Amino acid sequence: MSFDRSKTPTWRQGYRYQYEPAQKGHVLLYPEGMIKLNDSAALIGGLIDGQRDVAAIIAELDAKFPDVAELAEDIEQFMEVARAQHWIELA
């Protein structure tokens, strides 16, 4: 099954992506707690705005990091995990 890159990710209601100085990094806040994102996830998360579809996120990061061979697959994998964890919705 191939990933549909025309889907637009949005953070689920109650989830907020932000930089947290105490954590020295980006986090995803939600009512039950907080998830500290690694650098790659933070770059992807910063582009989830409800406007860009997955293809646009891939294109933007590919332009910044042209030498990363599996970039598109990594982004798709993040989207799958984030959806499975109920962090995002894909519409």
- For tokens 């599996």, the residue is 70
| Closest among 48, 1, 40, 42 to 20, alpha carbons compared | 42
Report which residue type is found at 49. Answer: D
pLDDT in tens, 3-16: 999 999 999 999 99
Q: What is the pLDDT of residues 36-83, one digit of tens each?
A: 999 999 999 999 999 999 999 999 999 999 999 999 999 999 999 999
Mean pLDDT of the residues in the chain: 96
What is the distance between the alpha carbons of residues 82 and 73, in angstroms, rounded to a whole number?
14
Task: Average the pLDDT over 8-31 and give the result.
Answer: 96
* 91, part of any domain: no
Is residue 2 one of the residues assigned to a domain? no
**1 within domain boundaries:** no
Residue 46 inside a domain? The answer is: yes
Number of folded domains that form the chain: 1
Q: What is the pTM of this model?
A: 0.93
Its domain, for residue 77, covers 9-86
80: domain CATH number is 1.10.10.1150
pLDDT at position 1 over 60: no
Classify residue 54: in a domain, yes or no: yes
